[in-house]
């Protein structure tokens, strides 16, 4: 009997142990799958929604909105305002941007809330008496700013597509500004490096300045910005473009000889535009139209390489790099000549995107040697960004998706913080052709199509993009990076479609860039192996090594129906999902 009891006890213990192991395994499975979704493919795939942005704090804000029942546009509004607080070098109230939207039903739209030149702007406002460009005038101080579009853009997006109350979407940003947040090591370094600039353009002080150096973990409080956000929460767009905030902005203009007026602010409108839509193989590309140059340029690039065996050549192989560089050379030459604000200039969109035209542009390069940029001009048609921007991608539970790129232009914009209102002003006027034919801060050359005019929107490289495959959502993608935006988005797409990379691998992969002028191929360290570099140099390509290119934040929908994120390791970028 004793022996039987011992055997029975041992069997019972075995069952208990087995049950504990099963329970532990199930617990691990559930806890590793946020929201309790079983069958997850890996730790970076989720079923119910995803936010990928430049800040973990902003991504968490967006995820919180999705969990409350908000859709992708609700989350986008909340993330946009949160980034204005926690990522001030590019997140903004005083800048502008572009949004590409795709509903789960397949409906698409794009929103242009790019800044505009003030009514008192003139074509030659940044030239000296001899007609030479005074570079700093379009980069620093109050005169460098265009009329901000971000608040109007978010209000317009929410009015058309939002579900939750506007006030609920602004509240998280208010709390972050009022209560503060701990800055990252990167932010501490940037604040310290810009101390002289902030002091020069904000003589009465600003939240960005303190007597000692900033260090990682310092709490950054922005009470004036919190007050401004409360005005926007309570009064919508009028809380920014009219009333006390508008008074503060105009007073700031007067202090620094800027030209934005109350009328400029009140008259600003965000504009819904028809997206640029094209195809790359079996993929449908939905992207931003002018005044973004990104959409047309992206489709031109994709069509330029479509007929070549990129997959067989391999990622960053010498043939693949040469082909991409030659395509970029021709596309950026077209950009300089033909792209501008469509409200002021008739952009020849159909001709630029014509397959025959694009293929003809690629016929005159030789595999044996580089084509000098001096020999590449814009194509003949019939008839006649320092790189601080930020991008975020969002998909909600129902499959609605948003791709937004927004910016102040240079890092921390013009260096001016509006006194009494606490937000930074943009320096987007430098994105005009200050003097047609003269490079801007990114080395980009522009023509008459992008010359300064009152009320005109400056040309941009921002390329927020959404991709479909077989009529279903496939990818949401975009990046900051000034002139490198277009090429970074282009290469990220190729990394997934042609080189079979996961979303994170595609984002993390080392990149290279060419933009026609200057005639140099910029590459991240270790993007190309030494043999590839030698082969390209032997053909006459001027290879220049540089720091990080782009900071892509993207979402891929896998064939299993899960959202797979890619947050760029070049920054503090973060995925929040469930």
Within the chain, what is the greatest distance between any pair of CA atoms? 111
Task: Calculate the CA dihedral of residues 243, 249, 255, 256 and round it to 10 degrees.
Answer: -160
CA 472 to chain centroid, in Å, comes to 23
Interaxial angle between packed helices 56-67 and 72-86, expressed in degrees from 0 to 180 and rounded to the nearest 10: 150
How far is 257 from 249, CA to CA, in rounded Å? 12
Active site residue 389: yes
Write out the two tokens for 146: 């265009």
Q: Which residues of 494-519 are buried (b: 16+ CB within 10 A; e: fewer)?
A: bbbbbbebbbbebbbbebbbbbbbeb
- Which residues, in sequence order, are bridge partners of residue 468? 284, 473
How far is 161 from 275, CA to CA, in rounded Å? 16
3-class SS of residue 53: strand
Query: Which of 389, 463, 465, 484 is labelled catalytic?
Result: 389
Given the structure tokens 């008839």, which residue do they identify? 383
How far is 306 from 498, CA to CA, in rounded Å? 10
Q: Which residues of 5-29 are buried (b: 16+ CB within 10 A; e: fewer)?
A: eeeeeeeeeeeeeeeeeeeeeeeee
Determine if residue 383 is left, alpha or beta; phi over 0 gives left, psi from -120 to 50 gives alpha, anything else beta: left
| Residue 474 parent element (H or E) | strand 472-477
Residues recognised as catalytic = 389
């Amino acid at each position: 009997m004793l022996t039987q009891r011992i055997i029975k006890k041992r069997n019972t213990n075995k069952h208990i142990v087995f049950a504990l192991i099963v329970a532990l395994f199930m617990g691990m499975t559930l806890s590793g799958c946020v929201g309790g979704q079983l069958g997850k493919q890996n730790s970076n795939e989720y079923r119910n929604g995803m936010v990928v942005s430049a800040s973990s704090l902003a991504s968490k804000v967006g995820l919180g909105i999705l969990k409350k029942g908000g859709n992708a546009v609700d989350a986008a509004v909340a993330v946009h305002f949160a980034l204005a607080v926690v990522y001030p070098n590019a997140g903004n109230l005083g800048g502008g941007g572009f949004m590409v939207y795709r509903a789960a039903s397949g409906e698409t739209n794009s929103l242009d809330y790019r800044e505009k030149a003030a009514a008192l702007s003139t074509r030659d406002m940044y030239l000296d008496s001899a007609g030479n460009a005074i570079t700093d005038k379009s980069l620093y101080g109050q005169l460098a700013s265009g009329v901000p579009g971000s608040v109007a853009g978010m209000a317009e997006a929410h009015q058309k597509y939002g579900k939750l109350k506007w006030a609920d979407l602004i509240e998280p940003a208010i709390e972050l500004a009022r209560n503060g947040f701990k800055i990252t090591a990167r932010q501490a370094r940037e604040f310290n490096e810009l101390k002289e600039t902030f002091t020069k353009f904000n003589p009465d002080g600003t939240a960005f300045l303190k007597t000692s150096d900033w260090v990682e973990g310092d709490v950054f409080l922005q009470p004036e910005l919190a007050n401004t956000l409360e005005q926007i929460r309570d009064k919508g767009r009028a809380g920014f473009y009219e009333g006390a905030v508008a008074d503060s902005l105009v007073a700031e203009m007067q202090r620094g000889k800027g030209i934005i007026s109350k009328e400029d602010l009140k008259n600003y409108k965000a504009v819904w535009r028809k997206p640029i839509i094209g195809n790359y193989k079996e993929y449908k590309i939905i992207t931003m139209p002018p005044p973004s140059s990104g959409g047309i340029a992206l489709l031109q690039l994709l069509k330029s390489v479509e007929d070549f065996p990129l997959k067989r050549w391999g990622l960053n192989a010498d043939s693949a790099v040469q082909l991409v560089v030659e395509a970029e050379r021709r596309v950026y030459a077209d950009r300089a000549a033909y792209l501008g604000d469509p409200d002021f200039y008739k952009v020849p969109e159909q001709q630029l995107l014509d397959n025959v035209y694009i293929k003809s542009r690629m016929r005159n390069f030789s595999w044996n040697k580089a084509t000098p940029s001096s020999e590449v001009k814009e194509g003949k048609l019939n008839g006649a960004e320092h790189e601080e921007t930020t991008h975020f991608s969002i998909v909600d539970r129902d499959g609605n998706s948003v791709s937004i790129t927004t910016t102040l232009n240079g890092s921390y914009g013009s260096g001016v913080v509006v006194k009494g209102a606490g937000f930074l002003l943009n320096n987007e006027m430098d994105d005009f052709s200050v003097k047609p034919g003269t490079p801007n801060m990114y080395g980009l050359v522009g023509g008459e199509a992008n010359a300064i005019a009152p009320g005109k929107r400056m040309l941009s490289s921002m390329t927020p993009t959404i991709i479909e495959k077989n009529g279903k959502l496939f990818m949401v993608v975009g990046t900051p990076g000034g002139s490198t935006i277009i090429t970074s988005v282009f290469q990220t797409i190729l990394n997934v479609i042609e080189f079979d990379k996961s979303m994170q691998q595609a984002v993390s992969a080392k990149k290279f860039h060419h933009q026609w002028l200057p005639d140099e191929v910029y590459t991240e360290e270790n993007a190309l192996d030494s043999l590839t570099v030698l082969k390209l140099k032997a053909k006459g390509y001027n290879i220049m090594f540089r720091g990080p290119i782009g900071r892509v934040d993207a979402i891929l929908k896998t064939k299993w129906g899960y959202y797979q994120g890619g947050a760029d390791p070049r920054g503090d970028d973060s995925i929040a999902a469930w």
